[in-house]
Structure 1
């Protein structure tokens, strides 16, 4: 009789588990069924970059985790910052990432996930070239390097208009290393960059240091979508919430040393 009771219990468990699986949400609709097509650019460490020929970074791992929880296969498509927002608007991808700050202007053209990180803009200087710069108030005679079409650029041009810095030198997004080279050579006084990227470059380059965070300029980073895919946005938001809730996000943050 005992074996019959066990058989009944196992049968009931199988029916319950099968029913739960049957009721599980199907993968969300995407451009290619079963695939999450992700536009990005691998020139933005520690978010996404190339290391020893491999595509790596915090957001690479984060999006892989999101895709897995949605039962989708991630497919990263390399593009450029200067075109990625319009390409997403044109429906070239299911979503885009790349340390992208969610701004009111960008919310007008794309839908966005809830921010998975809110960070700051950092000021980097060369300690040998600028030993007397210790904060924002020391930048009045400074020229600051920024990347084109970024919130860094917007903030730096506003600071120039307010007389808080003298000049702004703009670099193509993929040439941030040129800004660091110019900083080391003394051709510019400082570089402004979102904190995780600034921190990565400072750790990679002896002599550079972060002297300040720009006040009143929070940087909420999110995943961008077409406004025509609200169900996908909702599904990704649920996955991000679960990733944070179960500790996976914290593990990835420790791995890539991001806040």
Structure 2
């Protein structure tokens, strides 16, 4: 399965840098968690619970058989195989992801989760592993070839997504152009895409990796047009409680090993048909 955009694997220099950090006691968050007993618990129970939106192709989604599959699924399995731990993938309301993490319902957020300044205040991140960005998906018949062509038109965006954050943080790029200067909010990207097809909205602001994979695998990809704009790029990383410093270190160590032995490149080729490059 191939992705037609340019995808960049990033941040493994940062992964090595993370490993140089001395692991100390973490602050408890929500339930009585701390970095020592959490990692011991993961090892003892041989499982870790990962929260995801199971409609986010190609990162984590359900195939025709109802199984949860995707790039992040393969990546998480490969990481925890090194430690004899099985990742359990728990579908969640994406708008509640940080709350689920804080309450202990899940142990990690791993589903095309972008690093942002706001999220860094409440979540610990792994080293980044994939570069991303926000793009506008439209139908060719709408004749939208730039963000300015969305002036007065209706935009859709997923609730609590990176797209919604980018829209709010950089209103001059797109938000101030659209109808009522407010987007229509959807619980999933697929619902937004369905409304796009039905003509109820004229564009969807969406992650580039989702847009590229979705359009490339549609029965009629030529009906769509993907427009890049001036939003800053972002990076995907794994989110976890700030107290889970041992877990953070273990994930980064696994990433570094997978970069060296070629496992990361193999998983990337499987889902995107491209070789990873590092920047």
d(CA) in 2 for partners of 1:200, 1:247: 23
Superposition pairs for residues 129-208 of structure 1, below 5 Å? 130-131=142-143, 133-157=144-168, 158-159=171-172, 163-166=176-179, 167-174=181-188, 176-203=189-216, 204=218, 206=220, 207-208=222-223
**Aligned ranges 1:18-167 → 2 under 5 Å:** 28-31=39-42, 33=44, 34-51=46-63, 52-128=65-141, 130-131=142-143, 133-157=144-168, 158-159=171-172, 163-166=176-179, 167=181
1:38/1:95 contact within 8 Å kept: yes
Contact 1:31 1:94 in 2 (8 A): no
Using the alignment, how far apart are the partners of 1:39 and 1:58 within structure 2? 15
* CA distance in structure 2 between the partners assigned to 1:32 and 1:142 by the alignment: 52
RMSD value, Cα = 2.3
Q: How big is the shift at 1:221?
A: 0.8
CA distance in 1: counterparts of 2:87 and 2:175, whole angstroms: 44
**Count of residue pairs the alignment pairs up:** 230
**C-alpha contact 2:72 2:110 (8 A) present in aligned 1:** yes
CA contact (8 A) 2:148 2:174 kept: no
Range 210-219 or range 182-191, more displaced: 210-219
Question: Which residue does 1:220 correspond to in 2?
Answer: 235
Which deviates further from its counterpart, 43-52 or 76-85?
A: 76-85
Report the Cα distance in structure 2 between the residues aligned to 1:215 and 1:164, rounded to whole angstroms. Answer: 14
| TM-score, reference length from structure 2 | 0.75
- The whole-number CA distance in structure 2 between the counterparts of 1:177 and 1:208 is 16
Indicate if the aligned counterparts of 2:167 and 2:175 stay in contact, CA closer than 8 A: no
Contact 1:59 1:97 (C-alpha < 8 Å) held by counterparts:
yes
Rounded to whole Å, the distance in 2 between the matches of 1:212 and 1:138 is 10
Identify which of structures 1 and 2 has the higher relative contact order when contacts are C-alpha pairs closer than 8 Å and 6+ apart.
Answer: 2
Where does structure 1 lack aligned partners over 5 or more consecutive residues? 1-26
Question: Which structure 1 residue ranges, 4+ long, deviate > 6 Å from structure 2?
Answer: none
Structure 2 CA distance for partners of 1:173 and 1:249, relative to 1, 3 Å: farther
Tell me, yes or no, if the aligned pair for 2:211 and 2:226 is still in contact at 8 Å. no
Assess, with a 3 A threshold, how the Cα gap between structure 1 residues 32 and 87 changes in structure 2: closer, same or farther: farther
Distance in 2 (CA, whole Å) between partners of 1:50 and 1:226 is 26
The offset of 1:234, in angstroms, is 0.7
Which structure 2 segments of 5+ residues have no match?
A: 1-37, 275-279
Correspondence for 1:211 among 210, 221, 226: 226
Q: Of the two, which has the highest radius of gyration? A: 1
- Once the two structures are superposed, what CA deviation does each residue of 1:177-214 show, in whole Å capped at 9, x if it has no partner? 22112212222111110011111222225244343223
